[in-house]
Amino acid sequence: MTIRVLLADDEPLLRMAFTMVLDAQPDMEAVGEAGDGAEAVLLARRLRPDVVLMDVRMPGTDGIEATGRLVRHCPQTRVLILTTFDLDEYAFAGLRAGASGFLLKNVLPEELLAAIRSVARGDAVVSPRITRRLLENFAHQIPAGGLPEVDERLHRLTPREREVLVEVARGLSNTEIAAGLHLAEATVKTHLGRILTKLELRDRVQAVIFAYENRLVRPA
């Protein structure tokens, strides 16, 4: 199955480079290019791509606003934000707007391609560093004192799945979790998939918030 990708960036040379990388893959196709956020939304509504690679800083409608519009009008299209600037406000604003991932433009081509495939499958692509800093910002919203009512979905997890969920909530990558729990990385991925299914969650970010809301881990 071919993953149809729309590119949104105000730099034509970057769009050309990304198009060449995508079209060289047997399972990907660049279906369109947009120079700003408004054009990206219009093209996405017409072309219905699987994934939009979205720059943040563009003239007119920026990538954050465009992401919010895309999520509302094209719910089947996933957005992967790709930016030059490693700023928390961009990452958090993008995730709040509904983006499925956040990467820097200096990412290796193989990492970008892996991220596109993950997002197309319905996964989230957020680095552990961003997850940790997201939680630092999220922590103040968690009420202190008293034990909250435990979500009944938590009882669906096995003890091992609960362990994996705690490590995910700590912001660890699958590789780090595998090393810490003495598991194969593929086993960690399997556990995470089952966790998301049992808890009826969309992605890793939602799993982290679920764990904090249910006090499986506490903010530092």
| % of residues, the chain, pLDDT over 90 | 49
Q: What are the φ/ψ torsions at residue 165 (nearest 5 degrees)?
A: -60, -40
* CATH 1.10.10.10 intervals, the chain: 139-213
213 vs 50, more confident: 50
- The strand pairing partners of 28, in sequence order, are 3
Q: First vs last Cα of the chain: how many Å apart?
A: 43
pLDDT at 38 (0 to 100): 94
pLDDT at 146 (0 to 100): 47
pLDDT at 180 (0 to 100): 93
Pick the range with the lowest mean pLDDT from 125-134, 152-161, 167-176.
125-134
Residue 24 has pLDDT above 90, yes or no: yes
Alpha-carbon distances of 169 from 1, 194, 207, 209, rounded to whole Å: 32, 16, 7, 7
Quote the CA–CA distance of 167 and 64 in Å, as a whole number. 29
| % of residues, the chain, pLDDT over 70 | 86
Q: Check: pTM over 0.85? Answer yes or no.
A: no
Residue 122 has pLDDT above 70, yes or no: yes
Over residues 92-111, the pLDDT tens digits come to 778 778 888 888 888 888 98
pLDDT at 214 (0 to 100): 85
CB 79 within 8 A of CB 52: yes
Residue 220 has pLDDT above 70, yes or no: no
Over residues 9-18, the pLDDT tens digits come to 999 999 999 9
Q: Domain 139-213 - what CATH class?
A: mainly alpha
43 vs 142, more confident: 43
pLDDT at 90 (0 to 100): 75
Mean pLDDT of 125-150: 59
* CATH 3.40.50.2300 intervals, the chain: 3-125
Over residues 35-81, the pLDDT tens digits come to 999 999 999 999 999 999 999 989 888 999 999 999 889 988 999 98
Beta carbons within 8 Å of 27's beta carbon, 6+ residues apart: 1, 2, 3, 117
Averaged pLDDT score across all residues of the chain: 85
Q: Which string of DSSP letters, residue by residue, matches the chain? A: -PEEEEEE-S-HHHHHHHHHHHHTSTTEEEEEEESSHHHHHHHHHHH--SEEEE-S--SSS-HHHHHHHHHHH-TT-EEEEEES---HHHHHHHHHHT-SEEEETTS-HHHHHHHHHHHHTT--B--HHHHHHHHHHHGGGSPPSSPPPPPGGGGGS-HHHHHHHHHHHTT--HHHHHHHHT--HHHHHHHHHHHHHHHT-SSHHHHHHHHHHTTSS---
Residue 147 has pLDDT above 60, yes or no: no
Over residues 152-168, the pLDDT tens digits come to 899 999 999 999 999 98
pLDDT at 118 (0 to 100): 85
Q: For domain 3-125, which architecture applies?
A: 3-Layer(aba) Sandwich (3.40)
